[in-house]
Amino acid sequence: MTKKITITLPDGSQKQAQAGITGLEIASMIGVGLAKAAIAFEVNGEQRDLSDAVSEDSSISIFTIDSKEGLEIMRHTVAAQVLARAIKNLYPNAKLAIGPTIDDGFYYDFLSDKTVSIDDLPKIEKEMEKIIASNSIINKTIHSKEEAMSAFAAIDEPYKVKIIEDSTQDSNFQIYNQGDTGFIDLCRGPHLPSLEKVGAFKLTKISGAYWKGDSNNEMLTRIYGTAWKNEKELNKYLALLEEAGKRDHRKLAKEMDLFHFQEEAPGMVFWHPKGWSIYLALQNYMRKKQAANGYDEINTPLVVDRKLWEASGHWDKYRENMFITEIDEEHANEKRVNALKPMNCPCHVQVYNHGLKSYRDLPVRLAEFGSCHRYEASGTMHGLMRVRGFTQDDGHIFCTEDQIESETASFISLLSTIYADLGFNSFDIKLSTRPEVRVGSDEVWDKAENALKSAITKLDLPYSIEEGGGAFYGPKLDFVLTDAIGREWQCGTFQADFNLPERLDAEYVGEDGSKHRPVMMHRAILGSFERFLGVLIENYSGKLPLWLAPTQIVFMTVTDEVADYASKLKGRCDALNLRAELDLRNEKIGYKIREHSNAKVPLMAIIGKEEMGSNTVSIRNLSENQTNNYSIEEALTLLVDSSALPS
RNA sequence: GCUCAUAUAGCUCAGUGGUAGAGCACUUGCUUGGUAAGUAAGAGGUCACCGGUUCAAGUCCGGUUAUGAGCUCCA
């Protein structure tokens, strides 16, 4: 009567079993140890609870906490079964929303009639511990859409009802419970079979989050947490977070005296001498690189009449992000409304439009270190990473549709060498394709998307696709770097634009003697100097390579008697345009070394009687904490060579 | 913009309604020393801003601004 089925395990081996065998029974078949460690399983690529039955021939793999999947299932259970229940216990009026896993942890969203703050987390953790200690068995039942909706309507959980209502499926809704505790939750599962299997967890932060991620909806309370298979792994993760925090560019900037912000100009950087020195070194490097790659540098106005922004479409589509200025009527015949430029593109078209362009001139590559201002929402500012005033390493390539692919390829190759010079050997590439609302024909979009895709494929670079993520005027490639605490920042970008040349009437004379529209490629490699420097500082933990370091070498004396000798050496460096400093203070050498090490000065020259006597210099290297002795000429040659811009 | 939190010396932070504190940094002595903190003294404050409660506010309450974490949005 019962059917036999064949089960294929990940190693390819096969076992016969009765149809209807559960995941737990399969694990037992393989071994007692596995049955004990098992927390869920996978049937033909679909994750299931151990209590689920298998009735067909299937490929099976059993998950334990040691697998990536197992860990994620455990985190999910901690969120949906433990945290959610704790919230309901402590805040009975709370309405549960969703509780998914994220990298390294989980969160749960709920609506609360009481404000919950970070100070409440220990209390919630304690309640969670209590729930886990009960070692409740987790069961589930399967329901039709109507049953599921009425179950959650009965306990007044409107978000759960809404989720079921909006779901496209009409049966098979899984409701998990913990015995007779009265707690139930809707979930696609799977979950741990019992709370006994929960490892070590910690609630980390609390914030608001919009229901369904839509800012028009109400704001829910979100509690974030992390969970690991044991205390040791948890502590390792927490220590890692703490280490990463030390690399935060805002913290390093204070320690290294690079820049500051103040209330009178939120989101605008006050660069200090040392920070500006890094900025300039980077800018000089970029200027050299772009000049060598066919770009002509230009400069365009900061304040531009609203007429141009109306023509470009910014006034209509981007006004809420623009700083608007008005000229006082006393000083003008008519009131003029201007805007600080939020982007450089319309101005670049003005430069392109001066003089008739032939197809022989294309591609025209215009570059500008363009200072832009955008009125960003107050809550979005973040150190150098997100500011209101910033400078892009902007550029626009005016070319024909046929030139898109080769321009893409040469752009990416330039970007790759620049990122490598700056210490970034890995970065993510995202290809954003046509959005719902767009301009231009599907043929042109096909052509543009394919050109970008084909260029990137030929370079054999991995990329991900963001369907519908393109700008309304064209598809784009984004180049994404990651900061100290794992947040991703879009830096480089390469965007095809068929719209602006039309709006601002850019033309070239083709081979056929008639006028044509060029395509305009918007591109940036660093993105903005501000953001890129933020990521750069974090990537190097403040220990910048010699060519970028604000102070490259500091001459520090062991005793007053060698002050003149040290000054002379510093003078030699000045003459060679090296960034050298002199530390003649009445302090011990250990103190000076400590101080300049903390300031991340890459080279420290220790000058004492020995060096003066032998006309040498001892240079201590920050990265290796190692001192070498050089003759003066040797040292200067080495310094000049090793501090040159990468070529 | 939204939610929650924070704002005290240059920096990091303590201060539970009754005279403003510490460590580091700074200044001045002493010390002239050899590879990550010598030593003593001194100076340094409109406790973010505006208002309220109170005999009395850094402390309690309301508002504003900025900052932090996240959400939405973005280089």
- Average pLDDT of span A435-453: 85
DSSP SS3 for A8: strand
Dihedral of CA atoms A203, A208, A213, A217 in degrees, nearest 10, equals: 140
Query: Closest nucleotide to residue A205 (Cα to C1')?
Result: B69
A543 touches strand B (CB under 7 A): no
Q: Output the pLDDT for position A330.
A: 65
- φ, ψ (nearest 5 deg) of residue A619: -115, 125
What is the rounded average pLDDT of the residues A544-569?
A: 96
Asked if residue A541 keeps its beta carbon closer than 7 A to nucleic acid strand B, the reply is no
Q: Which of A106, A501, A93 is nearest to A311 (CA)?
A: A501
Using the predicted structure, report yes or no on whether residue A530 has a pLDDT greater than 90: yes
Categorize the per-residue pLDDT at A483 as very low, low, confident or very high, splitting at 50, 70 and 90. confident
Say yes or no: ipTM exceeds 0.90: yes
Quote the mean pLDDT of chain A.
92
> Reading across the β-sheet that carries A464-466, which strands appear in turn?
A296-297, A364-373, A389-399, A519-528, A488-497, A476-482, A428-432, A464-466
pLDDT band at residue A322 under the 50/70/90 scheme = very high
d(CA A523, CA A555): 42
Q: Give residue-wise pLDDT tens across range A405-436.
A: 999 999 999 999 999 999 998 899 999 998 88
Q: Which of A74-78, A179-183, A532-536 has the lowest mean pLDDT?
A: A179-183
Percent of chain A having pLDDT more than 90?
76
Instruction: With beta carbons less than 8 A apart as the criterion, state whether A473 and A499 touch.
Output: yes
Q: Are A199 and A49 in contact (CB under 8 A)?
A: no
- What's the pLDDT at A88? 94
pLDDT exceeds 90 at position A635: yes
pLDDT at A639: 96
- What pLDDT does residue A331 have? 63
pTM: 0.93
Note the CA–C1' distance, A136 to B1, in angstroms.
43
Radius of gyration for the alpha carbons in chain A, expressed in angstroms and rounded: 31
Structure tokens at A366: 């215009």
What's the CA A587/C1' B29 distance, rounded, in angstroms?
14
Q: How many Å from the CA of A322 to C1' of B73?
A: 14
pLDDT of res. A19: 87
Tokens encoding A200: 């070590």
Average pLDDT estimate for A85-109: 94
A597 contacts A624 by C-beta, under 8 angstroms: no
What is the per-residue pLDDT for A360? 96
What is the spatial distance between Cα A222 and Cα A105, in angstroms, rounded to a whole number? 13
Task: In whole angstroms, give the CA distance from residue A416 to residue A422.
Answer: 10
Checking each nucleotide's C1' against the CA of A268, the nearest proves to be B66
- The superfamily CATH assigns to domain A67-243 is Threonyl-trna Synthetase; Chain A, domain 2 (3.30.980.10)
Looking at domain A544-641, its CATH architecture is 3-Layer(aba) Sandwich (3.40)
Q: Give residue A625's pLDDT.
A: 84
Check whether A335 has a pLDDT greater than 80.
Answer: no
Tell the CATH superfamily of the A2-63 domain: Beta-grasp domain (3.10.20.30)
The pair phi, psi for residue A57, each rounded to 5°, is -55, 130
Question: How far apart are alpha carbons A536 and A424 in whole angstroms?
Answer: 9
Contact A578, A551 (CB under 8 A): no
Residue A61 confidence (pLDDT): 92
Q: What is the mean pLDDT of residues A374-378?
A: 95
Strand B nucleotides where any atom sits below 7 Å of a protein CB: 1-5, 11-12, 30-38, 65-75
Closest nucleotide over all strands to A248 (CA to C1'): B68
Q: How confident is the model at residue A571 (pLDDT cuts 50, 70, 90)?
A: very high
- Give the mean pLDDT of A577-591: 94
Token couple for A322: 């623009």
Domain ranges of chain A: 2-63, 67-243, 258-538, 544-641
pLDDT value, residue A473: 84
pLDDT at A594 over 80: yes
Structure-token pair, residue A161 = 């009802």
pLDDT at A374: 96
Pick A532 or A32 by higher pLDDT: A532
Residue-wise DSSP of A216-255 = TSPEEEEEEEEEESSHHHHHHHHHHHHHHHHT-HHHHHHH
Phi-psi region of A383 (alpha: psi -120 to 50; beta: other; left: phi over 0): left
Tokens of A487: 């947040």
Phi, psi at A592, each rounded to 5°: -65, -40
Q: Which of A396, A447, A570, A620 is catalytic?
A: A396
Query: Three-class SS of residue A620?
Result: strand
* pLDDT value at residue A423: 92
**Could you tell me the pLDDT band of residue A485, with boundaries at 50, 70 and 90?**
confident
Q: Which CATH fold would you assign to the domain A258-538? A: BirA Bifunctional Protein; domain 2 (3.30.930)
Q: Which of A454, A452, A488, A491 is nearest to A470 (CA)?
A: A452
pLDDT interval class at A329 (50, 70, 90): low
